[in-house]
Amino acid sequence: MIKLKKEVIKLLSSATGLPQEEICSGISTPPNSDMGDLSFPCFKLSKVAGNKPNEVADDVVKKIQPCIDKGSVVETVVSKGPYVNFTAKRSAMYNEMLSFAVSLKSKGFRKDPNKKNIVIDYSSPNIAKPIAFHHIRSTMIGSIIGNIFESLGYNVIRINYLGDWGTQFGKLITAFEEFGERNLLEKQGVKHLLDIYVKYHKAESPVLEEKARTWFKRMETGDEKAISYWKEFRELSIKEFNRVYDRLDVKFTNIEGESFYNNSSESLISKIDDKIGVKESEGALIVDLEAFNMPPVLLKKKDDTTLYATRDLAAAYDRMNRFSFDESLYVVAHQQELHFKQIFKVLELMDCDWFSKCKHIQFGLLHLAEGKMSTREGNVVFLEDVIDKAVILAEKAISEKNPDLENKKEVAEAIGVGSIIFGDISKRRTQDIVFNWDEILNFDGETAPYVQYTHARACSMLSKAGYGELDIKSINNYSPDDLEYELIKLILQFEDKLEEAKREYEPFVLARYVLDICRVFNRYYYQEKIIDIEDDAKRMSKLALVYSSKETIKEVLKIIGIKAPQRM
């Protein structure tokens, strides 16, 4: 409803003298469609004028009414108590929807660049083991937030900050020295590394623990053999990760890791010491945050090795220096809330005027309803195993519903992967998620298969009707009925929903939005027998609405990383 909103803002600004930015933030959609399409409250204006809000609303309406002419998008403006309510011309909204659909088809939705840089740190698995199932949360929430910002014209720097440094790698090298087999490493890759890592911990050996500390110390000092092991394990891991990322269509501009900041830790600690001071505590170096009711930040252990917090602080400085970010987002589970509060507090104490641009985008826990999906790899449930199972179940459903479908495996992959992604964003990110296979693969529930099937249904209708590309010029101004207008208004909320999702860093907003479109579209689909309509102009106008719905659903799915099959 961009045209309507722009005109309403101008009319209100002229009538009230308020700046357009203030009016824009006050405009909302009435809870009941009978009350109009857009609404503006007059409570603040009444305080300034010294009159009752409903009297102010009446006065604003009287000022606006003479300004509405034949070329206006606004049909009527009325006062409803303390609110000024606007109703649009339905034919004008229909025409705007057609233009929007044509634009989506030709180039997708992408606003002009605004030169603002957004750094997003997401996924961030530990090397030397397959990506665990719980990593789907950070991976997809971060990826979708990046897509949202890119669609709105931001320059997005996508960072996969690998867990590739720390004492656990001393343990891994020790495990390989004690239990590893080169031929199994070549055949099994990171799964062999995980097996020997488990063996290391089951041994519970003080001797092995000491060897591990020594190996990590050798890593920190640049020992050639230790670094050679580390590089081999890291490269092997990234290769495995990329295979999973390709299936999820997840991309990164920078694949880095904690190791990236190993050489800058000492200079950072000196900088912190000069600015706010560091303390020694039981042989370790800390930043004391007791005055802020927080535990100390541990910068260096008593064996002189650095820690996660040290490297996160170094990363924050480096990212500001490299990217001059307007926002730096850390898409990390809520369990790390204290850690990021500590990191951001240290940056604040260091007088980094950009500390407030760093934000922890936290999320809830993830579970499978059945518990462990497989005992094949011990207690770990791997993301790729979950994807494989989802695809198998999707292919089974396709075989039952449409056994003659072409490209069955390709469609099953799209449905299986889509069901996992949509299941992950089916609730607000701060809520816990429980994956239930019957629910996420339900073609009739609030799921990816339901949305994908709605898209395929629209494609099928257009194909049967012989409807090709949308030609706006061939369609006269059409006045939609109530159900059609409900669908049109939903389609025209696209940019507003993107802005809301960006503002809240919330993919769920788009999941809910596309479900709403599908819900109304399917009512329309069952209510109307469009192909059988004899009036060519009327049939084409209704098919144009089907076309616009299809393109909008497809674009939302693209932003949330889900494919939209034309047949299912």
Domain boundaries, the chain: 2-88, 117-363, 383-559
- What does pTM read for this prediction? 0.92
Region 383-559: CATH code: 1.10.730.10
Give me the pLDDT at residue 49, please.
79
Give me the pLDDT at residue 373, please.
47
299 sits in which H/E element: strand 297-300
Give me the pLDDT at residue 379, please.
58
Q: Across the strands, what pairs with 118?
A: 156, 327
Domain 117-363 has CATH 3.40.50.620: yes
- How far apart CA 209 and CA 219 sit, in angstroms, is 15
Architecture of the domain whose range is 2-88: 2-Layer Sandwich (3.30)
pLDDT tens per residue across span 99-141: 999 999 888 899 999 999 999 999 999 888 889 898 999 999 9
Give me the pLDDT at residue 372, please.
54
Amino acid at 167: T
Contacts with 301 (C-beta within 8 Å, 6 or more apart), sequence order:
283, 284, 307
Angle between helices 167-179 and 190-203 (to 10 degrees): 90
Q: Which residues of the chain have pLDDT under 50?
A: 373-377
Q: Across the strands, what pairs with 433?
A: 366
Return the closest-CA partner of residue 257 out of 144, 133, 121.
121
Contacts with 157 (C-beta within 8 Å, 6 or more apart), sequence order:
117, 118, 119, 120, 253, 254, 319, 323, 325
DSSP for residue 290: G
Give me the pLDDT at residue 371, please.
62
